[in-house]
Structure 1
Amino acid sequence: MERIARQLRQRVPVTKIELVRNLDQDLILKVLKEIEPENAYYCKRVLEKLILFLEENGEEINDDMYEKLSDLLQAAPLNPTQTEVISYCVLSKPGNKDMNLKVREAPNVISGLGTTGLRTWEASLYLTEYLLNTDYCDLKGATVLELGCGTGLVSMALYKYHPTVKKICITDGDSQLIENLPSNLQLNDIPVESPKISISKLCWGEDELPDPNIDTIVAADVTYDSSILDDLVGLIYESMTQNNHGSTLVRNAYIAATVRNETTLKEWENLLNLGVQDKVWEWTIMEPLSFGGIWYPESTPEIRIYRIIKV
Structure 2
Amino acid sequence: MNSHAQNGVTPHGFPVLEPAFVFIHGFLDGAATWDATVAALGERADDALCVDLPGMGNRVDDDGPYSLDRFAEDVVKRVGALRRPVILVGHSMGAQVAELAANALGSQVCALALLTPVPLRGTGLPDEVMQSFHALGGNPAAQRELRRQLSVRLDDDRLEEIARIGDRVKAANAGVFADIWNRGHPLGAQPTRYNGPVLIVRGEDDAFVNAEMISSSVAPHFSHPETVVVERAGHWPHVEQPASVATILGAFMATVDQSVKAGVAGQGWTRAFEQKSADTFGDSFAADVVLEATVLAMPVSGADPHEE
TM-score scaled by structure 1? 0.27
Larger RCO, structures 1/2 (Cα 8 Å, 6+ apart):
2
Higher normalized strand content (fraction of residues): 1
Higher normalized helix content (fraction of residues): 2
